[in-house]
Structure 1
Amino acid sequence: MTNEDVKIERVAHMTSFESNNNVLKVDGIQFITLVPKQVVDIPQYGEETSMQFGVRIMNQASIPYHFDLQRFYPEILDPQGQILQMDGGQNATREVEKSDIPLLMPGESLDFLMDAKFNWYNKKCLSVSGNATYGGFWIFWNIMPGRYHIRLKYENQLVKKKMLISPKGWTEIDQFWIGKVITPFENFYLR
């Protein structure tokens, strides 16, 4: 992604940003794509293989911010450099937990890792899927061996949110970081 692409993805209220190959910094918040295990084995038919990926968020701003971690979604480029189409849906609804909306104080950082599963939809179609927004799911189809690129998208437009918090019930939460970011790509290999 070029710096020009990063500028296009910014929300109008943001005042500063910078990007290098590994780190995206927007208004004092740094985002780094994480892929702890970069080589993943294709599962045997009828089995599944797990993978984790995510983002490190570092608050270098002067005020604390909440982040709605369930708002991070993966974007994957296939071995030919094409964006894979993501499907998804909602198969349940769950309450928000405190760990879903951490408050990062100035100087603090947080690693948020998503769990993904590679499994066979049928004998000719390998997919990768994971959990999404409070009971939803995402899925990518027709995965083949090769080198992939993954990054995460995040968007939040509300400073305050009324959320169904377990066990409190409906609660208003303030100080959410407002913005739209796309983290830098990181590689993983499927073999």
Structure 2
Amino acid sequence: MTSFESNEINAVELNGIRMEIMLPNFVALAIPENKPDANAPVRFGISVANNTSKPLVFTQNNYLVPELVGLDGQTLERKNPVDETLASEVYDCTLVMPEKKIVFGIEAKLFWQNNKLQFSNGSRLNYSWFFDAIKPGTYQLRFIYDSPGQPIRCYDKEIGEVRTVETIEKVSKATNFVNLYLVNHIPTPSNAIEVDGLLFETLLTERVIIVPKKKLKSKNSSVKFGIRVTNLSPTPHRFIFFGLTPELQDANGQLIHKSGGRNATKYPQEVDYMLAMPGESVTYFLEGKFEERKKLQGNEPSGGVWCFDNLKPGKYRVRFTYRNENTVAIIDKGSNEDMKLLEGIWKGMVSTPFVDFRITQ
């Protein structure tokens, strides 16, 4: 489990179970290149609130089952579902107790397997569900929870014992739908995808980053990662880059863990909502510096600090995931001036294509 922001407006409640897939209604992913170890990951949360009188039981094999619907209204076939029979077996369970809420972290990815694009929640060799032969286009995604409807034997990690849990009656509950837009990237030096009349690009000032073998006070290796949004639509749009940080993959296509902290908390001002008129672009760069040779760290405008540790010489990939869930913002101009309402902020989530770079010594 992890923490995700919720806007509550998309939450769906039925029979005392309140569920929400915690993504903007518009989510765009760049389809990765058809080559080994290339993939496009996506992370999100699913909020589950229990307003019933009994626990909700989620086992490791039937946490939440995805449903993917195409533009033609047809539900895609979900492959390799786990056939879980609730008999006398014992399960690792997560319980959502009455009047409690839990957010489940979901990690999925797009990748190629045997020249077919797949959308899965796991690796090529070990997944519990996947959709096969995905094509570019817009889909609707939601998750479904089916309660066991009968007592289930769970291993309680807190007490280290197996116990029988009385659950609610049999019920099937689904989250809200979100639109998932899968788009081919435009093969330019910076890589880009076009969504909703907007061109999102990954920018990198250096493709080869030389890091000194020894820590030298007089020499500091740095790199600038950036994102550019070009407005190809006839409508002006604003963009806010607070909280945006780079995402790195290693040569095997694995996301590298990113740690973080906060030096301060800053709030966006009007100038931070960058305006792109039709035909214009807005660009945002973050500078990362290598500390102690293998640690890459930097800051972002809201006061946050991001860091990647143990970056050894080799090949890497970088991208950004732009995310905004509000079309308006209220700017507090101080005690002597009125608050100002900004409109026309683009709402949605877009992951830019990965761009390759290399660290060397």
Q: 1:45 aligns with which of 215, 224, 227?
A: 215
Q: Structure 1 residues 172, 20: closer, same or farther in 2, change over 3 A?
A: same
Q: Structure 1 residues 82, 169: closer, same or farther in 2, change over 3 A?
A: farther
How many Å separate the matches in 1 of 2:352 and 2:300?
17
How many Å separate the matches in 2 of 1:128 and 1:9?
37
Contact 1:162 1:173 in 2 (8 A): yes
Paired position in structure 2 for 1:152 = 320
- Superposed, 1:152-171 pairs within 5 Å as 152-164=320-332, 171=340
Q: Does 1:142 align with 2:314?
A: no
Paired position in structure 2 for 1:25 = 194
Deviations 1:68-115 (A, max 9, x none): 022432110123321101111221122424442211111101222111
- Superposed, 1:1-191 pairs within 5 Å as 2=31, 5=110, 12=178, 19-21=185-187, 22-43=191-212, 44-45=214-215, 47=217, 48-120=220-292, 126-164=294-332, 171-191=340-360
Deviations 1:136-156 (A, max 9, x none): 111111110011100001111
How many Å separate the matches in 2 of 1:180 and 1:14?
10
Contact 2:140 2:180 in 1 (8 A): no
- Whichever of the two has the greater Rg, that structure is 2
- How far the C-alpha of 1:170 sits from its partner, in A, is 5.2
Q: Structure 1 residues 145, 99: closer, same or farther in 2, change over 3 A?
A: farther
Equivalent residue pairs, number: 187
How many Å separate the matches in 2 of 1:64 and 1:34?
22
Q: Percent identity?
A: 29
- How far the C-alpha of 1:12 sits from its partner, in A, is 3.9
How many Å separate the matches in 2 of 1:16 and 1:100?
29
- How far the C-alpha of 1:19 sits from its partner, in A, is 3.1
Q: Structure 1 residues 119, 113: closer, same or farther in 2, change over 3 A?
A: same
Greater RCO (Cα-Cα under 8 Å, separation 6 or more) = 1
Per the alignment, in what secondary structure is the counterpart of residue 72 of structure 1?
coil
Is there any run of 5+ residues in structure 1 with no aligned partner, and where? none
Q: Structure 1 residues 129, 61: closer, same or farther in 2, change over 3 A?
A: same
How many Å separate the matches in 1 of 2:319 and 2:343?
27
Per the alignment, in what secondary structure is the counterpart of residue 242 of structure 2?
helix
Contact 2:269 2:331 in 1 (8 A): no
How many Å separate the matches in 2 of 1:114 and 1:9?
33
Q: Structure 1 residues 130, 169: closer, same or farther in 2, change over 3 A?
A: farther
Q: TM-score, normalised by structure 1?
A: 0.83
- How far the C-alpha of 1:126 sits from its partner, in A, is 1.6
Deviations 1:121-170 (A, max 9, x none): xxxx7211111251111111111001110000111110012245689685
- After superposition, the CA RMSD in angstroms is 3.0
Contact 2:245 2:286 in 1 (8 A): no
Q: TM-score, normalised by structure 2?
A: 0.46
Q: Structure 1: which 4+ aligned runs deviate by more than 6 Å?
A: 8-11, 13-16, 166-169
Q: Structure 1 residues 61, 179: closer, same or farther in 2, change over 3 A?
A: same
Contact 1:117 1:129 in 2 (8 A): yes
Which structure has more helix as a fraction of its residues? 1
Contact 1:71 1:155 in 2 (8 A): no
How many Å separate the matches in 1 of 2:334 and 2:223?
28
How many Å separate the matches in 2 of 1:169 and 1:79?
51
- How far the C-alpha of 1:172 sits from its partner, in A, is 2.9
How many Å separate the matches in 2 of 1:176 and 1:154?
13
